[in-house]
Amino acid sequence: MDSERPSFNPFRSNSRANEDNNAELARIQLEKEQFREKLEAEKASKREAKAEILREQGKPFMAFVVVNQDKIGYGLLFGLVFGIPIIFSVTNALIGIIVCIIVVIAIGLGTYKYLKEMLKK
């Protein structure tokens, strides 16, 4: 008699409702992607406009930094994470500490000058 009665499974969902949910999730995901692409395009156009202004002012290096800001940041992070331990392991500890201090000061001054230049506008 138990075999005639349909079994109740709380984890089994209605296939029609499941299809509707999947369609809704796909639509939301598509909207998120379109919004993300729109934001990235706006960000790129703003960077390019700033770079054009800097080129007109005779600052091509600053224009390059503005356009390639993300790549420079990732490269710098990669260099710090992998470069400083190599310096410590290869050189004497005192020399490694001095080099690290010099690198941090150079990065700090470069960041300060860059932000100072960007915040003037």
**Number of domains, the chain:** 1
pLDDT, one tens digit for every residue, the chain (121 residues): 445 555 555 565 566 667 777 888 888 999 999 998 999 889 888 888 888 888 888 888 777 777 777 777 767 777 777 777 776 666 667 777 777 778 778 777 777 777 776 666 5
Taking each helix axis from N to C end, the angle separating 93-119 and 69-90, rounded to the nearest 10 degrees, works out to 170
- Are the C-beta atoms of 100 and 87 separated by less than 8 Å? yes
The answer to the question of residue 26 being in a domain is yes
The domain of 30 spans 15-119
The answer to the question of residue 3 being in a domain is no
> What is residue 7's predicted lDDT score, i.e. its pLDDT?
59
> What is residue 31's predicted lDDT score, i.e. its pLDDT?
92
pTM confidence score: 0.45
